[in-house]
Amino acid sequence: MGDITITPLEGKAFGATITGVDLRTLSDDEFATIHRAFLDYGLLVFPQQHLDEQASADFGRRFGELEFGGQPMANQKKHKDGSFGEIYDINTQLMRTNVGNETWHTDSTYKPIASKCAMLSAVIIPDEGGNTEFADMRSAYADLDEATKARIAGLSAYHSTNYSQANDLGDFPVSNGEGVYGTVYHGEAYLRPLVKIHPETGIPNLFVGRHAFGIPGLPRDESRALLKSLIDFVVSDERRVYAQEWVPGDTVIWDNRFVLHRARPYDYTKPRYLIGTRVAGDPASELAYYPEDPQAEAGRQALAAELEILRDEVRDRMYGATTAPR
Ligand SMILES: [Fe+2]
Beta-bridge partners for 103: none
With cut-offs at 50, 70 and 90, classify the pLDDT of residue 64. Answer: very high
Enter the pTM of the model: 0.95
Q: H-type helices in the chain, by residue range? A: 28-41, 53-61, 93-100, 137-143, 146-152, 161-169, 179-183, 220-234, 283-286, 296-313
With cut-offs at 50, 70 and 90, classify the pLDDT of residue 317. Answer: confident
Single out the residue of 263, 278, 234 nearest to residue 114, CA to CA. 278
Residue 315 per-residue DSSP state? G
Q: Output the pLDDT for position 316.
A: 74
Output the CA 203–ligand 1 centroid distance in Å.
23
Give tens-digit pLDDT for 280-294: 999 999 999 999 999
Output the CA 262–ligand 1 centroid distance in Å.
6
Give tens-digit pLDDT for 212-248: 999 999 999 999 999 999 999 999 999 999 999 999 9
- Judge whether residue 323 has pLDDT over 60: no
Output the CA 81–ligand 1 centroid distance in Å.
27
Q: What is the mean pLDDT of the chain?
A: 94
- Residues 137-158 have a mean pLDDT of 98
Output the CA 113–ligand 1 centroid distance in Å.
15
CB 194 within 8 A of CB 230: yes
Output the CA 146–ligand 1 centroid distance in Å.
30
Single out the residue of 104, 121, 141 nearest to residue 242, CA to CA. 104
Single out the residue of 104, 88, 35 nearest to residue 64, CA to CA. 35
Output the CA 228–ligand 1 centroid distance in Å.
18
Output the CA 147–ligand 1 centroid distance in Å.
31
Output the CA 249–ligand 1 centroid distance in Å.
19
Output the CA 28–ligand 1 centroid distance in Å.
28
Q: Is 82 left (phi over 0), alpha (psi -120 to 50) or beta?
A: left
Gap between the terminal Cα atoms of the chain: 40
Q: How much of the chain, in percent, has pLDDT values that exceed 70? A: 95
